[in-house]
A and B are shown apart, each in its own frame.
Chain A
Amino acid sequence: MKNKKADGWSRREFLGGLALTGAAAVVGWRPDLVTAAVEPPPETTRLRFHKGKPACWAPIYVAEPLLREEGFTDVQYVFGPQTEVGKMFSEGKFDLNVGFSAKTMYNLEHQPYPLKFLSGLHVGCYALIGSARTRSVRDLKGRTVWAGAIENDGPHLFFSTIVAYVGLDPRTDVNYVWVDKDEAIRLFRDGKIDAFMSFPPGAHELRHNGLGHLLIDTNVDKPWSQYFCCMVAGHSDFIRKNPIATRRALRAILKANDIVARDPETAARILIERKVIKESEYVHILPELKHIPYNMWRDYNPEDTIRFYALRMREIGTIKSNPQQFIDQHADWRFMNELKKEFGITW
C-alpha cells in the first residue's frame, strides 16, 4: 500500500498522462482501435513494474496512460535496489521489469529466478568516457577505470565486454575503483582515473562540464549499437497466468518507446514527476533521451542480443551457460511475434 501511495496515479498525473496520450497522437501514434476492440480484456488489472534509477527506462513511466487504455487500472512502480532485483523478482514483487540484458543474464546465471525476456527496449545508452591520456579502448591496459560502484553490476559487465572485444582481459589488464558515481566524477576530474563507464545521465554530465572524451558511444558505435541494451522481461508466473495482460502491457511499453523517441522533453518531465530523476538533472537527461535511438526497437532482434552478450560474457568467464540455454529457459517471444504485424517489426 505504501508503494501504491508513493507511486500511485494522482489526478494531476492522470491529467498529465492524458495530455501525453494527446501528444502521442500529435507525434503520429494512434491507438489501434481495431486490435483493442477484438482483444479480450487483460486477466488482471494490476501491473507492477520494478522502479529503477536508470533514466533510459523512461518508456515504462511514459507507458502508464497507455497501460490504462489497455485495461490496467492499478499500475504500480515498486522500488528496489539493483542488487535486490533477483530476490524481489523471486518473491513475486514485480510483474514486469526492464533491465540491462547482460546484467539480467548474469543475475540469472548466479541467482536463478523466474524471469522471461519478452522484447528489446532500446539499444545504446552506455558510454565509455576516456581521459586525455587515453585515445582508444586498448590504451586502458594497466590504467584505472570506474565501471560502476559494484563489481559485476551493469556498468562493469558492459565495460568488461567492451575491453574483451579489443583483446584485453577485463579481470587482469585493468584496475578498478569501486566508489559511487559522485566520487568517481571527482576522481576523474582529478585525473586519478582514466576511464568512466557512464549511463544516463553520466556521459552528458561529464562532457557538459568539459571532462573527457568519448571512447565508446554504444548508441552509435558498432557492434554495441546493433544490440539491445535494456530489455523488457516478465515474471514467468505472471506471463503464464496472464498472457493477454502481458501482450497488452508489452504493446503499451513499445508504443511508449516511440513516444519517448518523438517527444523526449515530455518523457524527461515524466521522469521528474515520477521522481526517477531530479529537476536539476533535466538538462543532462534530455540530450541523452534524444540521443538514445528509442525508435529502432523494431529493427533489432532481441534473441540476437541475448546471443551476443551471452557469447561475450562467456568468453570472459563471467557466465558458463551458453546462449541457447538462456534463450531456451529465459526467453518468450510469443508476444513480440503476435505484435509483429501490428507494429511492422522488420526482424
Chain B
Amino acid sequence: MKNWLPRLVAKAPFTVHTKLIGAFFTIAALLIIFGIVVIQVLSGINRRSEELSQLRRKVAAFRRLQHDTTAQLYSVTSALLSPEEQTLESSLRQLNEFRYDLDRLQFVTRDEVELFNKIRKEHEQLVQMIIKVVELTRGHEFTKANELRLTKTVPLADILERLTNEMVNRAEADMEAKVDESNRAYMTSRWVVIGFAVGSIGLAILLGYAVSSSLMGPVKLMDNQLRQIASGDFSKRVEVPNRDELGTLADNLNRMNNKLRDLYQQLDAASRHKSDFLANMSHELRTPLNAIIGYSEMLMEEAEDRDRKGSIPDLQKIRASGKHLLELINAILDISKIEAGKVELFPEAFNVKALIEEVSGTVQPLIEKNSNIIAINCDDDLGDMYADITKVRQILFNLLSNACKFTEHGTITLDAVHDYSERTSRLLVSVIDTGIGMTEEQMGKLFQPFSQADIQTARKFGGTGLGLAITRQFCEMMGGDIKVRSERGRGTAFTVRLPMAAPPPRADAISSATSGDSSKSV
C-alpha cells in the first residue's frame, strides 16, 4: 500500500461493491468515449474526402471554362481575320454559348464571386467590342475593324483569359490547401486515436491496479495477521486505510486479535500456574510417599525377621499402592515439566539392541500377567544411537506396557529397523499388539494428556492417560514422531521414528506439546 493511488481508492468512502461497479463503468465510459473519438475522426476523414471531391469537380469545371474561353477567343479572332458572314455568325453564337457556360457554373464560392463577376463583366465588354468589330467588318471597314480588334478586343481577351486562369489557380490552390489540411488532420487524428487508445488502456490498467490493490492489499495484510495469530503472535495490528467493508473487517480482526491475546495471556498464566502447582504438589507428595514405601518395606523385612507373616500381605499392598501412586505422581511431574518447558535432553551413545532387550526384560512380568507372548525382531545393523537413553527407554517401556495392558492371550511384536531412506538415518520401532484396538474417534484424542480411549477403557484397564502424551512429547523433543494405526478388535500398531543422532531440542516441539495438538502424530 505504498502507492498513493491504491491508497486514495482505499480511502474513498464507498463500499467495495460501489468501487468495483464504478471501475467497470469508468472502463466502459472510456470505451464509449474512444468509440466516439474514432467515429468523429472517421466522420472528419469522410467530410474532408467529400470536400476534396467537390474541389476536384470545381477545378475540372474551371479548367473546362478556361479551355472554352481560350478556344472561343481563338475562334473569334480567326473569324475576324476571314470575314465571312457564316463564320461571323458562328463566332457570335459561340460567345453567347460562353454566357451559358458561366451561368451553368455551380462551384463559385462567396470569395470567388468578385472574380466571377469580373469575368462576366470583362466578357460582356468583349462581346460588345466584338459586335462592334463584326459590324465594322460587315460594313467593309476592315482597317477600322482590325484596329479596334488589336487595340480593344485582344487586350480584353487577354484579361478574360487571365481571369479564368486565376479562377483555376484559386481552385487548385484551395484543393492543395485542402489536401494539406486533410494530411494534417489525418496525422492529428492518428495521434489522437493512438493517444486516446494508449491513454484509455493505461487508465484502465491504472484503475484496475488501484482497485485491485486497494482490495487485495488489505486482504493480504489480514491473511498475514491471521497467520501471526495462528502462530500465537498477537503483538501486531493490521492497519489498512480502507473506509469500506475491508476496513471494517480489519477493525474486527484487530478487536479479535486483542481479545485472543488477552485470553491467551490468561490461559498461559493459568497453564503456568497449573504446571507450577503440579510440580510443587508432586514434589511434596513424593517425599511422604517415599517414606511410606520405605517404611512399608522396612516393616515387611521386620515381619519376615520376627516371623509375623500374617501382616506381610497387607504391607505388600501398602508398598504396591505407594509405588503406584509414586508412578502416577512421577508421570504428572513429567508432563507438568514438559508443559512448563523444564525438561532437558541429555544425549549419550548407547546400543539400541541392548536397550530393547533390557526394556523387554523389564516388561516381562506384564507380558506374562495377561498370558501374552512377545516377539522381538531387531535388525542386525541397528548399532549405536546418540540420544537421551532415559527418554528412549521410557518411550519403549510405555508402548510395550500399553500393549501388554490392552492385550490378553495375544502376541506383542516389537520390530526395530535402521532406516536409511531419508537424509538423516532413523530408528524405526514398531510395537504391534493383537489387543482390543481403537476406533478413529478414540485415536483422535489418544495423545492428549489425561485422556484415554474412553471412560470404560479407563475404568477397566486403569492408568493415568499420561503415558502416550509423554511418549509423543519425548519423541518430538528428540526430533522424531509417533504414529498409530489401529482397528477395533484387531489390535494396534505404534510406530516411533527417532533420529539416530539426536538434534538439539526443538522449541516448537515443546510449545506444540504443551498446546496438546495431536494432528502431527495421528
Given A222-B161, A299-B159, A299-B162, are A322 and B169 neighbors across the interface (CB < 8 Å)?
no
Interface string of A265-308 (1 = CB under 8 A from B): 00000000000000000000000000000000001110010011
Bound: A310/B170 CA distance, A:
11
**Within B168-205, which residues are at the interface with A (CB < 8 Å)?**
169-170, 172-174, 176-177, 179-180
Verify A324–B173 contact, CB threshold 8 A: yes
Verify A324–B177 contact, CB threshold 8 A: yes
Set of chain B residues within 8 Å of A314, measured between Cβ atoms = 176
Verify B173–A323 contact, CB threshold 8 A: yes
Partner of A311 from the list B158, B162, B173 (CB cut-off 8 Å) is B173
Is there a chain B Cβ closer than 8 Å to A242's Cβ?
A: no
Bound: A12/B172 CA distance, A:
51
Verify B176–A323 contact, CB threshold 8 A: yes
Partner of A307 from the list B161, B162, B173, B179 (CB cut-off 8 Å) is B173
Is there a chain B Cβ closer than 8 Å to A325's Cβ?
A: yes
Is there a chain B Cβ closer than 8 Å to A223's Cβ?
A: yes
Residue of B nearest to A308 (CB): B169
Verify B177–A322 contact, CB threshold 8 A: yes
Residue of B nearest to A323 (CB): B173
In whole Å, how far is A144's beta carbon from the nearest beta carbon of chain B?
32
Given A226-B161, A299-B159, are A307 and B170 neighbors across the interface (CB < 8 Å)?
yes
Verify B162–A322 contact, CB threshold 8 A: no
**Within A50-108, which residues are at the interface with B (CB < 8 Å)?**
none
Is there a chain A Cβ closer than 8 Å to B239's Cβ?
A: no
Set of chain B residues within 8 Å of A308, measured between Cβ atoms = 165, 169
Bound: A323/B170 CA distance, A:
9
Is there a chain A Cβ closer than 8 Å to B517's Cβ?
A: no
Bound: A322/B178 CA distance, A:
9
Q: Contact residue range for chain A? A: 10 to 19
Set of chain A residues within 8 Å of B170, measured between Cβ atoms = 304, 307
Identify the 5 closest CB pairs spanning chains A and B, nearest first. Answer: A323-B173, A322-B176, A307-B169, A324-B177, A307-B173
Partner of B180 from the list A222, A301, A322 (CB cut-off 8 Å) is A322
Set of chain A residues within 8 Å of B174, measured between Cβ atoms = 324
Interface string of B146-163 (1 = CB under 8 A from A): 000000000000110110
Verify A325–B162 contact, CB threshold 8 A: no
Given A310-B173, A323-B173, are A304 and B180 neighbors across the interface (CB < 8 Å)?
no
A and B contact pairs by CB, cutoff 8 A, 27 listed:
A222-B161, A223-B165, A226-B158, A299-B159, A304-B165, A304-B166, A307-B169, A307-B170, A307-B172, A308-B165, A310-B173, A310-B176, A311-B173, A311-B176, A322-B173, A322-B176, A322-B179, A322-B180, A323-B169, A323-B172, A323-B173, A324-B173, A324-B174, A324-B176, A325-B177, A325-B180, A346-B159
Residue from B159, B174, B176, B179 having most chain A Cβ neighbours under 10 A? B176
In whole Å, how far is B82's beta carbon from the nearest beta carbon of chain A?
23
13 extra A-B contacts, CB within 8 A, seeds A304-B165, A307-B172, A324-B174: A226-B161, A299-B159, A307-B170, A307-B173, A308-B169, A311-B169, A322-B173, A322-B179, A323-B172, A323-B173, A323-B177, A324-B173, A325-B177
Residue of B nearest to A226 (CB): B162
Bound: A323/B177 CA distance, A:
7
Set of chain A residues within 8 Å of B162, measured between Cβ atoms = 226, 299-300
Set of chain B residues within 8 Å of A325, measured between Cβ atoms = 177, 180
Bound: A67/B404 CA distance, A:
140
Set of chain B residues within 8 Å of A299, measured between Cβ atoms = 159, 162
Interface string of A301-339 (1 = CB under 8 A from B): 100100110110010000001111100000000000000
In whole Å, how far is B389's beta carbon from the nearest beta carbon of chain A?
100
Verify B165–A301 contact, CB threshold 8 A: no
Set of chain A residues within 8 Å of B180, measured between Cβ atoms = 321-322, 325
In whole Å, how far is A299's beta carbon from the nearest beta carbon of chain B?
7
Set of chain A residues within 8 Å of B159, measured between Cβ atoms = 299, 346
Residue of B nearest to A300 (CB): B162
Bound: A325/B176 CA distance, A:
10
Set of chain A residues within 8 Å of B169, measured between Cβ atoms = 304, 307-308, 311, 323
Set of chain A residues within 8 Å of B173, measured between Cβ atoms = 307, 310-311, 322-324
Interface string of B325-369 (1 = CB under 8 A from A): 000000000000000000000000000000000000000000000
Bound: A314/B158 CA distance, A:
26
Partner of A301 from the list B166, B172, B179 (CB cut-off 8 Å) is B166
Given A222-B161, A226-B162, are A311 and B177 neighbors across the interface (CB < 8 Å)?
no
Bound: A323/B178 CA distance, A:
11
Bound: A223/B164 CA distance, A:
12
In whole Å, how far is A92's beta carbon from the nearest beta carbon of chain B?
31
Interface string of A200-225 (1 = CB under 8 A from B): 00000000000000000000001100
Bound: A301/B119 CA distance, A:
14
Bound: A247/B180 CA distance, A:
34
Bound: A307/B171 CA distance, A:
10
Bound: A299/B158 CA distance, A:
10
Bound: A175/B159 CA distance, A:
37
In whole Å, how far is A344's beta carbon from the nearest beta carbon of chain B?
14
Set of chain B residues within 8 Å of A307, measured between Cβ atoms = 166, 169-170, 172-173
Bound: A307/B180 CA distance, A:
15
